[in-house]
Structure 1
Amino acid sequence: MVGNPRTFWLVLLTAAAALGAAAGIGPVLGLAVVAAAAGATALVHAGALIRLALRIHHGRRDFGPCRGAGFLGLGALLTGAGVLATGLPGVEPGPVAAATTLLAAPTYLLGLLLLPGTAPTLAARLRRLLDGAGIGVSLLYCAWVLTLGRTAAGLGPLRLAVAITGAVAVAVAVVTGLRAVRHRPAALGCSGGAALSILGSGGYSLSLLGHERAWIQAPAAVTAGLVLAGLAMIAAPFLITAGARRAGDEPTRPEAYDEDGSLAAYPLLIAPALLAVVVSAFHLLTGGRFDSTAVALGVGALAVLAVRELLASRDIRRYARTLAGREARFRTLVSGSSDVTIVLDADLVARWQSPAAARQFGLADSDVLGRAFTDLLHPDDAAPVTTALRAVRDGRQDGLVQARLRDGFGQWRDTESTVSDRRGEPEVAGLVVHVRDVGDRARLQRTLDEVTWTDDQTGLANRRKFLAAVAANARGSVLALELDRFETVADLHGPTVAAAVLIEAARRLRASIAPDDLPARLGGNAFGVLTDAPLVRAFALATRLATALAEPFHLPGHTVHLAADVGVAGVEGTAAPEETVRRADVARRRARQLSRSSAGGRVECYDRSFEAALVRRTDIEQQLPGVIGRGELDLVFQPVVDLATRQPVGAEALLRWRHPRLGNVPPAEFLPIAEELGGPLPEEIAAWVLHSACRHLSRWHRDGRDLWVSANVSARQLAADGWLRAVATAIDTHDVPAESLVIEVTEAALPDDTVAVEQLAGLRALGVRTALDHFGTGPTALAHLRRLPIDVLKIDQALFNEPAGRRGPATPIVDVVVTLARRLGIDVIACGLETQSHVDVVRAAGCPLGQGYLLSPPDHAEHVEAYLERHRTPML
């Protein structure tokens, strides 16, 4: 709790009460109480200060920072020990107290001068001593001449030595604290405490020395002086300890022109010296005489002033030489620099310019001085430069501005200027503008931009320039284009033809856009266009570009047919140009996905839903490889029922992909992606479905169930060369009757007639039956069924579903289909039966078989087997 403010006030109040009571308990006991209280407090804090010094020394391994606290602790130790000794029986208290003051005062001063930041050099410490000595001796001289010399005729040399030492030491302590160049709060605490301790010790000594023989019979005034001196000595160690502990705080910044304090304290001596002169004159005018003590004090004050004057003159000459050297160096640097320096006042008016202005820009002082700096600049650059200069003037930032400046010959010069605020420096007192001619650099930069911002093959802007242009636009649209099937051009015709296609595509882009639009090659066969048009007009522009790029590329010896998918995104509402281009590319990729079934050349505008669809498609593309090995594919079965008996006669195998993160992915979503990825994956999935369906069919036949199973196949798989062999292998491997396997193909996915007839005929030759699924939703005509070797026709719900509010028109359509199929020897299955009215319609039309959720939903094999068990039809 040493140095704590609460402890300080508690101890001080307790001491005041105790010392006040000491005046009434007898002189001997009262003196003992004062000595014990003041001495104990000083000794406790002396220990704290010495421990602090040792801790600083062990932490920094250096005697420098710890010396101040160590000597302050030693001063407190001398004070505490001396004051305690005055209260011992048989000891002459006066001489002991005087010796304490004479020893402790210089120790305190040594500790103050060695504190960090109070006096950094030996010369600065000497100046502190001289300043304090001059002030202290001058004030003591005034007090002696006015009062002490008349009432202290019997004053002995010891009291005089204590008075002089105390006055000088207190003055030095005060000056040291006030003139600390760094760590000012710590210096103020330590110097205030040291001055208070010296005052208390000196007052204590003088009180006791005035009554060396009969101090026991001292009057009440002397006792009161002892009490006040004791309070001062009790309070002082608290201040010293608190200040010493703050020596590690953030240092305060000294004045730049007087970091060691050589000049800052000199004016303090003027007031005491003038006061001494006034007191001397008054004393002479009133008939007073000067005794030897007054003469000695006056001579001492004059001597200190003379020495301090010599040091001050030396410091002033040194400072003047420093300023002259700085000015000479400044002029040398400014005159030899290629930069032009201009000093502006707070109103941004030029007040000074360097000689380089005439040499670099041909600007005379009459062309610049007294004019606003912005009057020298190009009108288009004046406003932003004014804003930057005001920002520097208001302290918000240092500025770097680029502007065109008119030189002395009337020409505009590209310049770059750095601006800094130097109004706080008396030598400058303004805003300093360093102007550099960057014309050569600007011309070189423009040349580099033409090279580095242009695609060297097509002559269009490259991606870097395109992004910079998008960043500079606050409105408009971005178009992202990519030539579809371009990769095959280089493979079939070589890189020369591919390069010619890119050049021709760039020419068509330039010819199809407005002059203010910016076309760019973003990389490979990808292009971009930045236009000021809003989305609606940009969509029309994208359509024109897609049409232009879809025209045949007639090249020497070659004709290339390509298409371009285009994505459009608005510039507004995006934080970065990369984001705008990315959105346009997302729309382009969506357009390409939607145009795979057509000839290409689709245009799409960006929509947030595209992001989720694109992410999901990307996830599917990444997760599809290895799907069979991970065991994520599954088959579910939906029974086909005889509508008359409601007995199952067959089942359709339906593929499912159950992914742990993507969930249940329908085959209509992932099978087209698998075919686009290419490779063996589509054939592997088809083979897995075929073998899984045959495996379940074989087990059901072994269990005595007379059923057939159908499996779906895509157009690509049906047209594959090895498809018939794969079907034959599956039949042989699982030992199932060929007629119990049905291969379904969707009407819309049928290959061309020749391939379809050959492949379906090949399946029939194997004994495998074939089915045409979703009949009624594709382009196949009824008469076309005669050419296709089809065994089963699965009609879609669209043929028999009754529109809302209408009844009856579906029955004749179904009747025609069923009648024609029966004449062609084709079995008919009505798919999508969900209500009893559906069943009634198809039964009325003569359709014998049905499939749908009303009869049985698709389910896993074990649940379907339970269904079959409930509707068991034994094999013949």
Structure 2
Amino acid sequence: MVAGAATSGVAAVLGASMLVVSARRQTGPRVPAQWLLAVGGGLAALSVVVGLVGTVILADGWSQHQAQRGTLSTVVATGMTLAGLVLCVGLLRLPSVAETTASAVRLILDGLVIATALWFVGWVLVSEPTRLLGDPVPLFCAPVLLATVTAAEAAGLTVIVAIRALRPRSGLTCIGCGVTVVTVAGLGVAAGICQLGVNLTVVSAVVLPVGLMMIHLASRTDEASGGVAFDVLRGASGYAFLPMLAMAVSAMYHLMRGGDFDLPGIVSGSAEGFALVARQYFALRDVHGYAGRLAEREAHFRELAHTDPLTGLANRRGLLRALHNEGASGSPRVLLGLDLDGFKNVNDIRGHDVGDAVLVEVGQRLRANLRPGDVAARLGGDEFAVLLSACPEEAQGAAERLLEVIGRPYDQVDGQIFLSVSIGLAGDPATPDVEALLRNADLALRYAKQQGKNRIERYDVAYDQLLRRRTTLEHELRGAIERGELRLAFQPVVAVPSVRPVGAEALLRWHHPELGQVRPDEFIPLAEECGMISKLGAWVLDQACQQLSRWLADGHDVWVSVNVSPRELHAPEYVVQVAEALRAHRVPPQRLVLEITEHVVATDLDELIRRLTVLRLTGVRIALDDFGTGYSSLGQLRRLPIDILKIDHSLVSEPDGTPGTTDLPGRPVAPMVDVVVRLGHQLGLEVIAEGVTNPTELASVVGAGCRFGQGQLFGWGVPAEHLEAMLDAATSPGARPVPAPRTASLGAVAPAETPDSDSPADQDGSDTAQQYLPPKM
């Protein structure tokens, strides 16, 4: 017996020492828990050693030293109670087991429910009439009862932690089992000393180091740091059914055997009830808190669903909600639609981060300049809206203020950014239709954009008519070619002063069976916006080449010019398209002139030069149309690979109504025409004066040395057969002869097209379209 006690004592001390070593090696958040486990293990080992020493001393007169055994049992039981409490606290202090005091209290209560059931079942087994342990426990061993409570709580806490531990759960489960083994073994030592004899004491002392070793081994693995999941909905009462069932069965068995309930039984039953009530109270409070948080989150997400995440303004849903609320209140309302002008350039040049910063500042400026109750919203991209509770007159003043505020510079790291805004205003207190109000504001905004931007436009009923017509035109235009509604008109280009037609500009015309004659300035911009311009341009090019081929086959000496849109010009396949049209209709390339406007020059000059150079390699001529409207500079003109300058009508006419100057008696000259003609001739270009409407302007053009004219004076765009009649009349024997063209303009005509010097046309001084073909640089 002495040898066994000595061995058990040494093993207990060794196990406690290993826990101390583990605690000293720990780092991080597990250090406090590990030291608590080491202190608890040390107290348990010390209590067991004291109990073993006393047992060895009292072994010879074990039954005669009843008082001494009671005192020794009290000391061991007290020590084990303290050790069990410290070990339980160490278990709760492990990382992620009980992160807050409230979660620790919940785990303790859950463990107490199981512990009370275990204690009650044990009380039934050791009390009258069952008495599994023989004689009842004497009063002087009452501290043992405290040790039993601690052991039961350790067991209950271990069960709860094991149930709720996250995978892998072996670490925490092993530590909990080790704590339970230590407390139960200590209880066995105290009980053996108190009443049951030396054998139970020694056996319990042998088991205790096993529990210490389990704690030590589990503490060395990372699995011991696994967390404990706490679910409000599942962790409230499901675990309590089995303990309550065990208590109920034990109580019924106790009563059926004729037993009664003394103070410990009543206390344990009351403790179980209070533990359940307290746990359910906390569970109910958790559920209420959980429901409150759910409600807050729902409100938060509902608000997020109506809020723009970048600017913090309302989004489209938020605006619709405000519109419906305002409509229900019946108060007058005005909706402003706002769109930033040129914002795409900010994203393209400065980057999207700078663009987002500008949008955020726009939102701040809107919010700072609205009254309480007004709603500002970002509808997407650079489009905003403001809902005002005001009459249209008050809203006009607010819109003017916003126009000025948003137009102020935006300070950024790379420098200031300047933007303007277009605003559309719509409001009708008598109209509760939200969709109509949104649509009206959008129509007004679109009209403001079309009218030049940086302005305010109020909705007008006429906008509806314009929109309906625009929508109808776009729909009908898509099938106009297939239905045969398009045709070409040809405006003659004449040689001056003979006014003999030598070329023609192909103009697109659209006659709809229901809409009637649709103006080109109405459907051409629409075709550019909706992506139809390339299809229309291909049709015009093909039809113009086909008609030119017929005229050439009939012996008419003419060329035809076709207008080219910027989108067509920058399309990679356009050069192939031109070459295919010339080949298909067997048209000499120099007979086709492609006209571009000065507006194209204002975009990307280098890319334009590359495109025009490739086109000129096919043999066609290039004309710069509307020259003089302000886009081209002299340096650009020298670089552009063009053959013809077409002077804009604004230079041909006299804006102030005064007659032109004269360089010779009786020859009025328009000063700007004279300058452009001289400049074109110096650059080797031919010049055509557009928009000649009266004899005075014709005289000015002729006086400036310009050889070609186009305009009302020589005829509007006419069908092909009418122009063919004009060509026939010009080549009839009675046609008026004119002097031969300047020699300087003849050198670039292709050899196959150059007239023979002995031909009758040269001998009698008449002019031909072949001679007037624009020169190729």
TM-score by length of 1: 0.43
Which gives a bigger RCO, structure 1 or 2 (Cα 8 Å, sep 6+)? Answer: 2
TM-score by length of 2: 0.48
